[in-house]
Chains A and B, each alone.
Chain A
Amino acid sequence: MKTFCPAKTLLIFCAAALTLVGCKPADGGGSGGGTSDAPIKVGEYASLTGKEATFGISSHEGTLMAIEEINAAGGVLGRKLELLTEDTQSKAGESQTVVNKLIARDGAIAILGEVASSRSLEAAKVCQDSKTPMISPSSTNPKVTESGDYIFRVCFIDPFQGTVMANFATQTLKAKKVAVFTDVKSDYSKGLAKFFKERFVANGGTIAVELDYNGGDKDFKAQLTAIKAANPDGVFVPGYYTDAALICVQAKQLGLNVPLFGGDGWESEKLTEIGSDAVEGHYFSTHYHPDVGSELSKKFVENYRKRWNGKTPDALAACGYDSAIVLVDGIKRAGTTDGAKLREAIAATKDFQAVTGTITINPQRDATKAAVILQVKDGKFKYLETVAP
């Protein structure tokens, strides 16, 4: 009955292709022209939904607030800023797609994001190839800024964070034997585990046992039983909050009553929501705590509470805020939104007063900054100590 007609099919195909091309917005290439006073477009990609949703949301709220404050103060270079936000759904592969869209279709002059190192690494390649400066608010894996000279970050890196936690384990916890439990799916977790082990062994400690899990797993009892059998003084869990909370819960169920500690991936209200009493007394390192800091940081906490219905900003919100103000400072000093000039201005950032501390971008394009160690107490994160770089 129905016959296949190649010519007709080809015609339909061509028509479809034309329609798709026609969909491109008219201002597609109008990025940093600077002649008009149209708003400067800044792209942001964040995990607003999915496994690391609270990270993305906090970071986004900080970034958005910074942009709003700058616009209220008159914008930059006489133009307003426009923040274009895309959701990565906490999924691999998604960052590349949305950042491509932000740069190629929406004409963003710079990119802010992400929290998770694996996803920042994906997007870094896109930004580097298109020579668009990217500032990651809180990806700590060293490889992120190694992607190229257009990639920056406003947080410390894992060699520092791993070292801080190793020293904390040796000096404060007086641990001799520690088990390491790594998420093999995450570049962040693997990096942190590596630097922790190096320093902890150099401090004279021994690694009791090393086990792995896949981020998103629900059952950790098999590995935790093996960890318990090795009888460690503490367990280093450099993972993200959902997994970390479940690990704490199951460790408690199995009667593994030693301190568990991790990195900034733990900081989320979901940690205490899912972990409840099982996360009590455990420790993690992070970028900042609202109770300690400069005048600027106190003002930030105050404004943030006003803007987001009394919510107290966590470290990721503060880093999100800093990523935006460092970018705007760069645009101001560059006097243009041209990619190459903007890159040089950001690279020259020195002694810049930000919420999470004084930021100097080093030749590796990382920020050198202090870390803080927090403890979970009564469902809250209590400040313990600050460790300078």
Chain B
Amino acid sequence: MSEVLQQLINGLALGAIYALIALGYTMVYGVLRFINFAHGDVFMLGAFAGYFLSPGINKILPPQSYVGGALVLILSMIICAGLGMLIEYLAYRPLRRRPKLTVLITAIGVSLFIEYTCQHKAVFGAAPRKFPELIPDTTWHFAGLVLSMNQVIVIITTLVLLAGLRYVVNHTKVGTAMRAVSFNEQAAALMGVNINSVISFTFGLGSALAAAGGILFAMNYQSIEPLMGVQTGLKAFIAAVFGGIGNLPGAALGGIVLGVVETFAGGIPGLSNYRDGIAFAILILVLLFRPAGLLGKLQTEKV
């Protein structure tokens, strides 16, 4: 029994990170109807931003403090929001009126560009690095269960960011504009919505969440490298599709479910090396019966 509960804790902490990244995929899809494949790399850049910021922050604040950790998190989110907007401005905006397939392939190009630039010796280099411990290393033991402060922080941060995102999208002016652009870009433009700044904001917001995911992931697993976003980004994308792409609560739910399923599969002897495969097999099954994903609504294409 304690093993099942322990796996649930492990799975929730992993799923919460998937959820944060999945939100970025789903938001961009909701507004622009294309998949930003470079999103997983922004996740990686977020982790590296934290890696380089942390020694500087430690000069002002004592190392392993909650305030210092929060500061690293917020600064990395701001840096990555800027990077996300820059990527949109340089790579996607010039292609706004082109077929969606062109933008999609550009996104793959941007992703490879970031990965291989970062692997160069003069940038980060390909060798994994140890991520500094941002917060005090506290663990609780009860009834054979182990819960670490890191895991609690991951889950709490995800919940706070989700609530914040929900507020922004549903109760602010820019959120209303985002939803308007998502419904109908042209009509929104006619109503006086500045399409470019709304799209820019969407990328910034999504990238900030990816950066938060990157920091939380690095805090939990303590090693970072330029290709860390490939597998994790792919899983988060799957989570977004699983939950119903374009649907925000769906992406969060998809991330959590994927993390938990993957963790349980990983704990079964003989099946543990198929943990990724099992997660994908379940995705296929769900999509067979619910083609729009768990919470997605099927839309009829207007021809």
Contacts and interface: CB of A to CB of B under 8 A. Distances in A.
Interface of A: 49-51, 53-54, 89-90, 184, 209-214, 216, 218-219, 221-223, 225-226, 228-229, 242, 245-246, 249-250, 253-255, 270, 273-274, 276
B268 A242 contact: no
B127 A218 contact: no
Interface in B203-225: 217, 221-223, 225
A184 B222 contact: no
Contact of B273 (A212, A249, A270): A212
Nearest to A57: B127
Nearest to B228: A218
Contacts of A255: 139, 141, 146
B263 interface: yes
Given A211-B272, A226-B266, 5 more contacts: A49-B127, A245-B223, A246-B222, A253-B148, A276-B130
A246 B272 contact: no
Interface of B: 2-3, 6-7, 10-11, 14, 119, 121, 125-128, 130, 139, 141, 146, 148, 150, 217, 221-223, 225, 228, 231-232, 262-270, 272-273, 275-276
By Cβ-Cβ distance, the 10 closest A-B pairs, closest first, are A222-B266, A212-B273, A226-B267, A229-B3, A222-B263, A221-B10, A218-B221, A49-B126, A184-B273, A53-B127
Nearest to A49: B126
Nearest to B262: A222
A309 to B, nearest CB: 18
Contacts, number: 98
Contact of A50 (B126, B139, B146, B262): B126
A274 B264 contact: no
B274 to A, nearest CB: 9
B126 A222 contact: no
B266 A254 contact: no
Contact of B14 (A184, A214, A219): A219
A124 B265 CA distance: 36
Contact of A49 (B121, B141, B223, B275): B121
B262 A213 contact: no
Contacts of B222: 246, 249, 274
A230 to B, nearest CB: 9
A221 B266 CA distance: 9
A246 B6 contact: no
A242 B224 CA distance: 11
Say what secondary structure dominates the interface of chain B.
helix
A270 B128 contact: yes
Contact of B126 (A90, A214, A221, A229): A90
B273 A219 contact: no
Nearest to B131: A274
B125 A49 contact: yes
Contact of A242 (B14, B128, B146, B262): B128
Contacts of A90: 126
Contacts of A254: 6, 146
A212 B266 CA distance: 8
9 contacts: A210-B270, A219-B10, A222-B272, A225-B267, A226-B266, A226-B268, A226-B272, A255-B141, A273-B130
Contacts of B130: 273-274, 276
Contacts of A51: 126-128, 225
A53 B3 CA distance: 36
Contacts of A228: 3, 6
Contacts of A273: 130
A222 B276 CA distance: 12
B220 to A, nearest CB: 8
Given A90-B126, A253-B139, A211 B7 contact: no
A296 B269 CA distance: 47
Contacts of A229: 2-3
A222 B146 contact: no
Nearest to B120: A49
Given A222-B10, A222-B263, A49 B119 contact: yes
Contacts of A211: 267, 269, 272
Contacts of B7: 222, 225-226
Nearest to B276: A214
Contacts of A184: 273
A226 B146 CA distance: 13
B127 A270 contact: yes
A253 B6 CA distance: 12
Given A211-B269, A246-B221, A225 B128 contact: no
